[in-house]
Amino acid sequence: MKKLAAIALLTLSAAPVFAGDIYVVGSVGRSSADINKNDIDSALVSAGATGVSSSLDKNDTGYKLQLGYQFNQNFAVEGGYIDLGKATYSASFTGGSASASVKATGWNVAAVGILPINDAFSVFGKVGTIDAKVEANVSASGPGGTASGSASATKWKTLWGVGATYNISKQVGVRVEYEQFNNLGDKNTTGEADVSLVSAGVVFKF
């Protein structure tokens, strides 16, 4: 968080105030983790489970709050906090059950390229990085008793996105976008997965 605040302050102080617009974006949408249920089922079978019946919900509500600076009509830098929600898995098998969850959050910064279509409407693409924290929790019960475990990993990973903005006025706009966050987590502890976020939000310019 301290690193992100320093980056934001340096970015905003690097250009005169009149050169562009400071803006804030608040968005909410649907996140989806690229997790394969069959891989988890196979791990249970390898551990000796039989008669496995399972379900996986890899979609959840995601949200974000971003602070940005638009230098001109074609370029901006933005960053902030993103919550990508949680994926949950549950299974029953002969003599027992198991459950697992994986949650991802993080601080991000991205460069944004903007293509105005007219005075009100523009499209954009972005590329950047996220300091993603992934938390995984697992529990199981069976003939031998119960067991649980957790793991956490925080690593910088890449992100990209595309979207569009419609300006209702000079100060207020609406934004829709698709973002992809690549290989979140650690393959040796929490496991890795891509997470996508489709969101809609409001833009406030100052």
pLDDT digits (tens, 9 = 90+) for 59-114: 999 999 999 999 999 999 999 999 999 999 999 999 999 999 999 999 999 999 99
> Which domains, ranges and CATH numbers included, belong to the chain?
2-205 (2.40.160.20)
* DSSP 8-state code for residue 16: -
Q: Which residues of 110-142 are buried (b: 16+ CB within 10 A; e: fewer)?
A: bebebeeeeeeebebebebbbbbbbbbbbebeb
Q: Regarding predicted confidence, which is higher, 134 or 14?
A: 134
Cβ(148)–Cβ(140) below 8 Å: yes
pLDDT at 171 over 50: yes
Q: Of 78, 80, 101, 64, whose CA–CA distance to 21 is shortest?
A: 78
Residue 4 confidence (pLDDT): 45
HSE, side-chain direction, 13 A CA sphere, residue 143: 6
Q: Check residue 143 and give its pLDDT.
A: 82
Half-sphere exposure of 66 (CA within 13 A, CB side): 28
pLDDT category, 48, cuts 50, 70, 90?
Answer: confident
pLDDT digits (tens, 9 = 90+) for 149-167: 999 999 999 999 999 999 9
| Residue of 170, 164, 168, 174 whose CA lies nearest to 206 | 170
pLDDT at 49 over 90: no
